[in-house]
Chain A
Amino acid sequence: MLALQILIDGFAISTLFALGALGFTLIFGVSGVLNLAHGGLLVIAAMIAWYVGTSLGYGADWGALAGLAACVAAALLTYLGVVRPIERSRAIPARERELFVLTATLLWGVMIEEALSYAFTNSPVTVKPLIGGTIDLFGVSTPINELLIAAIAWLAMGGLWLLVNRTRIGKRLLAASINPRGLTLLGFELGTIYLIVWLVYGALAGIAGVLLGSFLGSGSGYIPGLTGSAFTIVVLGGLGSVSGTLIAAYIVGYIETVTAYLISPSLRDVPALILLVVVLYVRPQGLLGRR
């Protein structure tokens, strides 16, 4: 019974982790940007979904859509307003650009946190679940929302797989991640490709943010933790590796759930961090990393 409970609860958490970290790894894989404002984008999606869905009273569906739209807009703003000016700046030496982008996104994340705290206070809220109620799953009373979250997350991840492997745009994204210079030489505009990948990233983060907000709640105080856990998962799986991220998300999700159930909920973050240190020590490129 307990094992089944851990299996179900761990699956939902892991799937959410995977979806949350996927965009983070995608943007790094394709454009080489480690977006440390990631948690901020997730929380923007959740807060706007809550504000439109609950506070203004338009209902869960419209709220989720508004959260998604807000997150896509915020992702574009992050790219056009923070990342691209640095990448194009002549004042910054090329070899220092990555560091500048890293610092800029970190500060941008702090600004998002302060702005959200100012606008909504830092008291957490929960996004209205798309479907309420519980069902009995082999004797475990499970909120329907939890299953719906897992289904939507897998649909989104399947959609991403199709986009990358079955469409022309996806192939360009893939090419950009492998050899950006080669792509430019073939006459493709790298700027457009980056814009597309940030759009895709915004949509992924938006879906993850809204779902996370309905499962674990959301608030400006959640931002550093969300960025941190995406970072842990991505480093564990291998920076830029999508399949590595998925595997790492399930490892972290289940380790955390098992710890919470069998040892203590207060210690749930600890074993995954120990694992991260060990992996960095014996396999610095992560589970499936290529650099």
Chain B
Amino acid sequence: MSKKGRLAVIAGGIALGVLPMAFAHAAKPIKIGITAELGTIPGKAIANGAILAADQINAKGGVNGRKIKLIIEDDHLSTTDAIRSFQRMVKQDHAVAVVGTFVSEVALALEPWAARLHEPYLITGAAANELSEYVHADYKQRQYIFHAYLPAAYLAQAVCDASKQTLVDQFHMKTAVVMSEDAAWTKPLDAGYDKCLPKVGLKVLDNIRFAPNTSDFTPIYQKIESLHPNVIIAGWAHVGVQPTVQWAEQKVPIALAGINAQAGSSVFWKATNGATEGVITGSTSAPGVAITPKTLPFTDAYQKKFGISPAYTGYSTYDAIYALADAIGRAKSTKPLAIVDALDKTNMIGTQGRLVFQGPKSKFTHALKYGPKYVTGVAFQWQKGVQKCIWPLNLANAKPVFPSFVKLPAKS
């Protein structure tokens, strides 16, 4: 490069760096970092949920007169990238808090940094129990971390509660095989399934864990078929399309329920060419289901702005940004401990239910409270290309219907 060219680049760099700073000084926005896997459906929904919440809050005048400014960075599903980006957001951008990631492995890697850098960090999609157990183990040091979603133990409980009132009570199912991908979040999930499924009347015949890069599920389905269970209880997030398609194509005569996180996306019907007909999954919400008065306005606004319906992380991130804005508003400060204290007192209606973080005495410190009065999620089933809510029963807009190849137990 010529000397002149180099000078121009340096001058441009200075101008680019200085001008925004000058403006920033005048407006003094509150910066919030977003870490997400932008190439994935749930990761994109984290960014979208945050953008929507920030736009709405800013349109109403911001927080204590200051606008929210998001710094969205892609962590490419990599812990190294995520940590680097986290440090950059804290040290260079001076983000007052960081929100995001649906990958437990990434969140677990970020937690020590949140504790070390005294940075409030809200996890909005990852589900491992360890995320909040980590806070419980050393509260004083790690109080900056909030698990603004449900730990896997609660997700398992929700699946059991839903299975009891639908599969067991309505279809007299008695046996299940647990089939989960091998990942951090499914270990506590499987432990939860093994404990609570028998309690609701579903005997667990086997627990099959498979590598997330499994390409052909035929051998697994053959094995499950030989056990003759009534239902397969899934624990899938990294996989989804392939096992669903093979279940339908090979006409596996067993109902498919549990958590099939990718099936929560509205594009799943197309991705599987409709093979998802009859699949049940636990999720945060279902289209058209008003869990709280905030749910439907949120999904409508999201659909209008982004042209697709939100994945589960869209709900949790949108709620987390509102909870954060509410906390900063009450604290009238952006100091880490002030934000943490205010977040501890959060008691607000979000799109998923009533949001309350658990205290230091709970095993799942700073995770959302689970239960009918708080957040439970829903179970929905794909029926003719539409996600129909089948649980909780008071919100259900359809009864479960299974494809003709699924053999249902005889009604006794």
**B210 with A217: CB separation less than 8 A:** no
- Contact (Cβ within 8 A) B44 A121: yes
Residues on the B chain within 8 Å of A261, using CB? 219, 222
B218 sits at the interface (CB 8 A): yes
Assess whether B270 is interfacial by the CB under 8 Å rule: yes
Q: Give chain B residues whose Cβ lies under 8 Å from the Cβ of A117.
A: 39
Q: Are B40 and A121 within 8 A (Cβ)?
A: yes
Given A5-B222, A55-B270, A134-B250, is A266 in contact with B211 using a C-beta cutoff of 8 Å? Answer: yes
Smallest CB–CB gap between A222 and chain B, Å? Answer: 8
Within the assembled complex, what's the spacing in Å between the Cα atoms of A122 and B77?
11
Docked-complex contact A265 and B249, CB < 8 angstroms: no
Place the interface of chain A in its size category: 20 to 34
Contact (A123, B262) CB under 8 Å given A5-B222, A55-B270, A141-B251? yes
Q: How many A-B residue contacts, CB cutoff 8 Å? A: 87
Cβ contact within 8 Å between A125 and B211: no
Separation of A123 and B275 alpha carbons in the complex (Å): 16
Number of B residues near A (Cβ < 8 Å) is 32
Cβ B273 vs Cβ A134 within 8 A: no
Encode A131-168 as 1/0 by CB contact (under 8 A) with B: 01010000001010100000000000000000000000
Q: Mark B243-262, 1 if CB is under 8 A from A, else 0.
A: 00100011100000000001
Q: Is the CB of B241 within 8 A of A125?
A: yes
The interface residues of chain A lying within 8 Å CB-to-CB of B216 are 9, 13, 216, 260, 265, 268
Q: Which residue of A lies closest to B242 (CB)?
A: A217
A128 at the interface (CB under 8 A from B): yes
Known: A55-B270, A126-B275. A265 touches B217 (CB 8 A): yes
Whether a CB of chain A sits under 8 angstroms from the CB of B412 is no
Given that A217-B242, A265-B217 are contacting pairs, would A143 and B271 also be in contact in the complex, using a CB cutoff of 8 Å? Answer: no
Whether B242 pairs with A124 at a CB distance below 8 angstroms is yes
Is A266 a contact of B249 with CB atoms below 8 Å?
no
Assess whether B249 is in contact with A134, with CB atoms less than 8 Å apart: yes
Per the bound structure, the CA–CA distance linking A260 and B220 in Å amounts to 8
A54 at interface, CB cutoff 8 A: yes
A220: chain B residues at CB < 8 Å are: 39
A selection of 14 A-B contacts at a CB cut-off of 8 Å is: A9-B218, A121-B40, A123-B40, A123-B265, A123-B267, A124-B241, A124-B242, A124-B271, A125-B272, A126-B245, A128-B273, A132-B249, A145-B249, A220-B39
